[in-house]
Amino acid sequence: MGKEEIRKIQFTGKSSYIVSLPKQWIRDMGLKQGDQIRIARQGASTLQIYPPKYQTRAIHAEGAIFEIGPDDDAASIVRKLISLYFLGFKTINVKPKTGRFKPAQRTAIKEAVKRMLMGTEIISDSTSGITIQVLVNLLELSVDGAFKRMIHLAKSMLSDAILAVKELNFDLANEVINTDDEVDRFGFYIIRQLIIAIQNEHMLKEMGFSNSRDCMGYRLVVKNIERTGDHAVHIAKDLIEFKKPIKKEILEKIKEMNDFAVSVLDEACLALFKENYGQAEQAIKKSIDITKYEKKVLNMTKSLKDDEEVFRVRRMVENVKRLSEYASDIAEIVLNMNVEKTLKKDKSIND
């Protein structure tokens, strides 16, 4: 909560009362003389003041300077870039501490911007450094919009991974692996928005969150969706590694198992969007039935004579089973986010 100030009410003209606004707040909001603001009454004794179309500056609008040493490896550089992206910097200036970047360092920066950091562009690239700017408007793509796209991609990855195994389609398997970068891009973008929302009450409301606790819930949900995509990648990599089919009848049962797991994920995510406590509970109960599908598949492996194929089937089953577990985790997060509303409803009934 910001520092509280006490200001006098003044009377002007014949019927107007005025209160001056803090200069620092005006600057933070990017306002100037003549701009309009909205005033909304909140309850019996509180007024809320905010710009009509509030678009926050980045948390650190002045930009960040990130120096890379000659011994910094690509993974370390990418981790630092992602961290600065999360913190809300609009501009990130990457500079070599001495001399110039190594070719591998320059490549790592460019690949991170292209594949991981949504809405970023390199606006300057020279021997003295690289300047990265976040161009995307935070309000153009909502958290819900980005999250729905992320879910769709993760589900498609799972379906395509199983189809690739069925068809021995290595190109499709590689496409699944590459799509994981896109899932991560949406995840990073959502996390960036959530961090900004937590630190800015106006953006919190603009993004549709009632409180900062919901942002924490969404952060955990994003992690579960990222993991869902990771398991699709495991299935695709398995195909590329072994380059062998799996018995058709068994693969059909694995597909049924996957379809069921996806339906649980859909129900959990729908409960999230609808803020539906009851639907989240149903998703948790439903997720337990994944073991029935698992047993059917594992029983079929008893007829297999190839130990390697048995191993691959078991690993596929484990990857698909994890999807149902993540769906259950998401549903539990929805329960935690909405339990207070349920308690209030129960209280009103008892009264």
Q: Are 197 and 243 members of one domain?
A: yes
At 130, list the tokens.
């690289």
Q: Give the residue among 18, 22, 19 at the shortest CA–CA distance from 3.
A: 22
pLDDT of residue 230: 96
Single pTM value for the model:
0.76
Measured from the Cβ of residue 249, the count of other Cβ atoms closer than 10 Å reads 10
* Listed residues 93, 115, 134: the one ending a domain: 134
pLDDT at 328 over 70: yes
Is 260 inside a domain boundary?
A: yes
Question: Hey, is 38 helix, strand or coil?
Answer: strand
Is 275 inside a domain boundary?
A: yes
CA–CA gap between residue 245 and residue 211 (Å, rounded): 50
Q: Are 280 and 327 members of one domain?
A: yes
pLDDT of residue 2: 46
Is 349 inside a domain boundary?
A: no
Is 2 inside a domain boundary?
A: no
Q: Are 222 and 313 members of one domain?
A: yes
Domain CATH number, residue 304: 1.20.58.220
Mean pLDDT for the chain?
87
Domain containing residue 20: 10-50
* Listed residues 106, 134, 162: the one ending a domain: 134
Q: Are 208 and 119 members of one domain?
A: no
Q: Are 129 and 151 members of one domain?
A: no
Is 58 inside a domain boundary?
A: no
Is 55 inside a domain boundary?
A: no
Q: Are 284 and 234 members of one domain?
A: yes
Q: What are 191-221's pLDDT values in tens digits?
A: 988 888 887 777 777 777 777 888 889 999 9
Q: Are 288 and 321 members of one domain?
A: yes
Q: Using H for helix, E for strand and C for coil, what is the string for 184-248?
A: HHHHHHHHHHHHHHHHCHHHHHHCCCCCHHHHHHHHHHHHHHHHHHHHHHHHHHHHHHHCCCCCH
pLDDT at 37 over 50: yes
Q: Are 173 and 212 members of one domain?
A: yes
Sign of CA dihedral 280, 199, 137, 210: positive
Per the structure, the count of domains in the chain is 3
pLDDT of residue 57: 42
Q: Are 197 and 125 members of one domain?
A: no
Query: Percent of the chain at pLDDT above 70?
Result: 89
Is 14 inside a domain boundary?
A: yes
Domain CATH number, residue 69: 3.30.110.20
Q: Report, as an integer, the average pLDDT of 311-336.
A: 95
Q: Are 114 and 183 members of one domain?
A: no
Q: Are 242 and 264 members of one domain?
A: yes
Is 118 inside a domain boundary?
A: yes
Q: Are 223 and 322 members of one domain?
A: yes
* Listed residues 110, 134, 158: the one ending a domain: 134
